[in-house]
Amino acid sequence: MRNFLLTALLCFAASTAHAKPNILTILVDDLGYGDLSSYGAPDLKSPAIDSLMSSGMRFDSFYANCPVCSPTRAALLAGTYPDLVGVPGVIRTYPQNNWGWLSPQAVLLPRPLKAAGYDTAIVGKWHLGLESPNRPNERGFDHFKGFLCDMIDDYYKHRRHGINYFRENEKEIDPPGHATDLFTQWAIDYLNDRKGMQKPFFLYLAYNAPHTPIQPPKEWFEKVKARENGITDRRAKLVALIEHMDHGIGQVIAALKNNGQDKNTLIMFSSDNGGQLSVGARCGNHRGGKQDMYEGGLKVPTCAVWPAHIRPGTRSDIQGISMDFYPTLCEVAGAKVPSYVKGISLLSTFLGKPQKLE
């Protein structure tokens, strides 16, 4: 009897020790509030993201911290207003046009998650610093595969101002292929590497799409043109770029399922700001778009999926903001939140409980 009880206690201890969920945060770039079929786009098909929206909780009033890239990324990863961590504007490659430098005092999200027992990885766009000490591996990520700079001038050539900023950790790499396909495959590679591991993971998957240049693979553009009567080339290119990205996200989710990781993974999806109107983006019925402080520049499609915890098909009109990701994910992971963090954990809302707003 004593041996039975000891075995039971050991099994219970093992199960609770490994009960922390994996975390997959997907941040896309310049996706307008009206540029998903689930958000009313009449000429666009986004089945993978739409499936995420219906598999968990969709947020109808979620906002980016800023209508441009770097500040929102700083807010999401630092948990506070971007100005307070040195990123009031876009971090760029040339000093005369640079609007931020990430504060060394900012404790980025992977650090408390690492302290809570997580393996941490970023795939895709970093955009928070080009040089030491502001590279991903120096700010808490165990693994980095993507690019450092603000954007790429060509989805296939992967250069910015003629410079290659693609890295695998600290090593410069120059892989062939469309950037969206590369990020999708690298995310899948990471998930496959973590298959069967007891240590939970935090994967921050930051797609560059649908940021300019609007450069979808030719076959995706042709498919949209053949399907949508009367669509302009400008709009068709953007739709194709989004649909191509959506397909990639579907492949990542499929890998989670194939690896048996999906049942214990919290997935959060959002965009860094609203859509760019000059390239044909739709921002719902809101005024403005990217770079505007109107709702079109700040209101972003967002959802959270967590099987057995978040009820599928639920919606919330709570006004969340990018910096809320940080305390939310820390609470989920049992990680300590630094005292400077201004975001609010939305875990209570996820679980259908009353939300504390301070």
Pairing state between β 171-172 and 166-168: antiparallel
Is the peptide bond between 307 and the residue preceding it cis, with omega within 30 degrees of 0? no
Tokens representing residue 15 in the block: 């199960």
Partners of 22 in the β-ladder = 265
For residue 95, cis peptide bond before it (omega within 30 degrees of 0): no
- Which residues, including other chains, have CB under 8 Å from residue 232's CB and lie 6 or more apart? 280
Annotated catalytic residue, options 18, 66, 127, 283 = 127
330 is catalytic: no
Of 70, 43, 68, 28, nearest to 209 by C-alpha is: 28
Active site residue 69: yes
Angle at CA of residue 247, ends 244 and 249, nearest 5°: 115
Structure tokens at 77: 């990863």
Q: Identify the active-site residue in 11, 18, 66, 69.
A: 69
Nearest to 310 by CA among 54, 116, 79, 118: 54
**Catalytic site residues?**
69, 127
